[in-house]
Amino acid sequence: MNVFEPDGLWEAVRERLARPGAFGWLALIPVVGAFAVAIAAETGVRVFNTEWHAVFGYSARPDADGSRFRALWVALALAPYLQGVVGALLLPMYGRTRRWRAAIAVAVVGAVPLFLAGLTMVWLPGIILVLGAFAVSFVWWVIGARELLDVPHSEATEFVTVTLMASSAVVFLLTTALPH
Q: What is the pLDDT of residues 20-62, one digit of tens each?
A: 888 888 889 999 999 999 999 888 877 775 555 556 555 566 6
What pTM did the predictor assign?
A: 0.87
Distance CA 111, CA 107 (A): 6
Higher pLDDT, 160 or 175: 160
Q: Is residue 170 over pLDDT 60?
A: yes
Q: Residue 24, class by beta-carbon neighbours within 10 Å (0-12 exposed, 13-18 middle, 19+ buried)?
A: exposed
Higher pLDDT, 67 or 97: 97
How confident is the model over 77-135, as pLDDT tens digits? 999 999 999 999 999 999 999 999 999 999 999 999 999 999 998 877 788 999 999 99
Distance CA 68, CA 76 (A): 12
CB 119 within 8 A of CB 37: yes
Domain positions in the chain are 9-177
pLDDT value for 94: 94
